[in-house]
Amino acid sequence: MKPLILILLAAVCAQAQTIADAARRERARQAQARTNKIYTSEDIKGIGTKGATLPVENPAPGAAAAAEGVVAATNPAATPTPTTTVDPFEQWTQETTKLRTQVRELLDQETAIQLEINNATAQINAPVTTQSLKDQAARVQLAAQEKLITVRAELTRIRAELAEKDLAGPPARRPQPN
């Protein structure tokens, strides 16, 4: 019986060292791996405004010619850029990404509101409290429940829209000119 216990103990010790080594190797691999950009809602909001210019009203036709002359003088190789059409596949991808981001944000809001409701419930049911604190916690709980209903309705709407887009699938990609 003792040899069996010793063999099992040795096997467990060897296994523990292997797991620890694997964990060290994984940490080293993750440290060497390149970092990924984490996109926030500010990044997504900025996508639509990058490269956007405000229309400028020219008071006189000569002013436009003078401005073009200045641009041509500073950058003689500048040519008018052709208007680009938006690829439907890219547009679909951007729209679904935006919807998925909204779903994640709404889920975060839902969790925060649920925690707020739980906190208010705990204050209401606290063993040592005053009636005014219970009333205040009840008002907070009611307001949070109303916010939760609104967030859940919005979440349901966006999930339905996302499901519609996913069900329809992306449009066919245009072939790239060679």
Q: Is residue 59 part of a domain?
A: no
pLDDT value of position 23: 74
Which pLDDT band holds residue 69 (cuts at 50, 70, 90)? very low
Percent of the chain with pLDDT over 90: 34
Q: What domain range includes position 152?
A: 88-168
Q: Is residue 115 part of a domain?
A: yes
Q: pTM of the full predicted structure?
A: 0.49
| pLDDT one-digit tens code per residue, 102-113 | 999 999 999 999
Q: Can you tell me which residue has the tokens 């069900």? A: 167
| φ and ψ at residue 44, rounded to 5 degrees | -70, -40
Q: Is residue 78 part of a domain?
A: no
Q: Is residue 124 part of a domain?
A: yes
Mean pLDDT over 113-139 rounds to 91
Q: Is residue 33 part of a domain?
A: no
Q: Can you tell me which residue has the tokens 């208010």? A: 120
What's the structural domain count of the chain?
1
